[in-house]
Amino acid sequence: MDSANHQCFRSWCSRLDLQSLYSEFKSTVTAKDEQIKVVEKNLNLWKDRVSELERKTPDFIENALSKRIKIREEEIERLNLDKENHALEIQKKNEELLLFKSELKKTGEVQNIISQLIEDFGEFGDFLDKDKELETVLAGYVDVDSGQLMLTDPCYVDSQWKKQPYEDLRLFKDKESGKTYQFRKDFNNFEEKIKGFDNTVNELLESERFERIKVDRKSEYSYSYAGACYATLSDEGFGAMKHEKGHEGAAVAFNTFMGDGSYPVYIETYGGRNIRMYVDLI
């Protein structure tokens, strides 16, 4: 074979190798895509069965959730082997896993309470009958426009609700001078530069030149919109609001994880009686 033909043959072989590698790579990618589709199909199947499972006995729900958790953990472990290509899938599965574990914990807690009541008082009436089922139903949605919710007895609204002004008290201390600065008094925007400083307030906080001064406002958790705001803007993110005479119990206010939106409210019933309410705040 002369030099020209030899060179042509090598070029032809190289093209075959590249085509083979490309074909193999394409097959691998296609296989992974098919695996993801199968996982999504199974996930949709489980979602369709959630409402049915929630109406079964607590033990049945607990077993089903445990199996689902195990499946999700195995899927996450497999997808973690190729994190770069499956980052979004991994994040989604982790979020679903947290939700399933939360539901499992709540189911176990309620069953333990019912079992303890039966042990302490025996079975009586329609309430503590072992043959009754624990059911979870969607009661409805509650809209949020202030990033917070409040649980209260409606009768208190007409008789005790107060209209009090809300004071946005945010104080910051300059570590070098010891001087205190107040938001909306010394500056109106965190991207603003206070007189005497070359950096914005945000930059001063980031560099730790400024530090936030904690203000304890628990004494101001009155039965009012202002009181609810003071409670939900605290470090805890919630608080018990007070009656007119100063004792707690008028309401409980708490902030939401995602801020404003529409949040589902669920009621758990046992033998036709409401035994627990919870709100998903995400």
Q: In the block, which residue shows the tokens 């104080």?
A: 171
Output the pTM of the full model: 0.54
DSSP annotation of 187: B
Q: Is 27 exposed, middle or buried (0-12, 13-18, 19+ CB in 10 A)?
A: exposed
DSSP annotation of 214: P
The residues spanned by each domain of the chain are: 3-121, 171-214
Per-residue model confidence as pLDDT tens digits over 253-272:
999 988 899 999 998 887 77
Quick one: CA torsion of 15, 16, 17, 21, rounded to 10 degrees?
100
Residues with pLDDT less than 50, the chain: 4, 9, 12-13, 16, 53-56, 125-126
Per-residue model confidence as pLDDT tens digits over 206-215:
999 999 999 8
DSSP annotation of 145: S
Give the C-alpha distances (Å, rounded to integers) separating 35 from 28, 39, 40, 55, 171: 11, 6, 9, 31, 54
